[in-house]
Structure 1
């Protein structure tokens, strides 16, 4: 059994490594060592996360996917969560989350046989519940943000996020030189939506 730790933060401004110490301490207390780390700055609301799927590709049956909280693994909608669960179950990987105490026993010797199957069943139900809760929290926050923006617009207070002029000028130069969108994302930390917006603006300027 290998323990594979997954660390995720939503944006480049957040630290995906924040929970590393907690995960190390958790494994050490159980006499286990984390064999590999997978870190990325991606939204938990999207299924396409390269490091998470690299972990699943590397994993063998019985390995542990260790996370700080279930929302680090998923803020997915129901359909995408089912796809992710199916991929995890197909590999025979055990999900252990610090905020899900029933999952902790899956790292021990009693995780096999009848007891292990009962634990996995109970853990699976609670995992689905926490994933649904994480999604609801995500949707609630998005709704509150949208309401706040709408209110600010009505009151004439909403200015929007100021453009990062220097960065966007650099992105224009990278696009002109033929650099791929993936390489631009890695170099600047921006999202694909930002690049798409700049591409559209460049096309509009050419057409003008």
Structure 2
């Protein structure tokens, strides 16, 4: 019984992995097609969050404080800091 259960789980894992790869490939194909048409610009920047981060940086808050206050990643804070220099 254990062998059958293990085999069924392996089958489900393989199906899920194939489904994931197929969806990723279709997404990449769609993005490539739209880019050639000039309609794809990527994800929009959150200007509101960036303004909050910039003002907190201006007032001398630490990255950790900004991360908690703005609920953002440390990388975004670094990017905004470089933009405001």
TM-score, normalised to structure 2, is 0.66
Task: Give the deviation of 1:168 after TM superposition.
Answer: 3.5
Runs of 4+ in 1 over 6 A off after TM superposition: none
Q: 1:156 to 1:204 in 2, by over 3 A?
A: same
Change (3 A) 1:171 1:204: closer
Partner of 2:14: 132
What is the rounded CA distance, in whole Å, between the counterparts of 2:11 and 2:66 in structure 1? Answer: 39
Q: 1:136 to 1:170 in 2, by over 3 A?
A: farther
CA RMSD of aligned residues (A): 3.0
User: Residue 159 in 1 paired to residue 26 in 2?
Assistant: no
> Structure 1 residues 203, 124: closer, same or farther in 2, change over 3 A?
same
Task: Identify, as 1 or 2, the structure richer in strand.
Answer: 1
Q: Cα offset for 1:121?
A: 2.5
Which residue number corresponds to residue 5 of structure 2?
A: 123
Q: Secondary structure of the equivalent of 1:179? A: helix
User: Judging changes above 3 Å, is the alpha-carbon distance between structure 1 residues 171 and 123 closer, same or farther for their aligned structure 2 residues?
Assistant: farther
Q: Which structure has more helix as a fraction of its residues? A: 2
Residues in 2 aligned to 1:169 and 1:132: alpha-carbon distance in whole angstroms: 45
Q: 1:144 to 1:161 in 2, by over 3 A?
A: same
**Residue 204 in structure 1 maps to residue 82 in structure 2:** yes
1:203 Cα offset (Å): 4.3
Per-residue CA distance 1:44-68 (angstroms, 9 max, x = gap): xxxxxxxxxxxxxxxxxxxxxxxxx
Specify whether residues 171 and 202 from structure 1 end up closer, same or farther in structure 2 by C-alpha distance, changes over 3 A only.
closer
Structure 1 gap ranges (5+): 1-117
Q: May I ask how many residue pairs the two structures share in their alignment?
A: 80
Alpha-carbon distance between aligned partners in 1 of 2:18 and 2:28, rounded to the nearest angstrom: 15
Give the TM-score, by structure 1 length: 0.31
**Bigger radius of gyration among the two:** 2
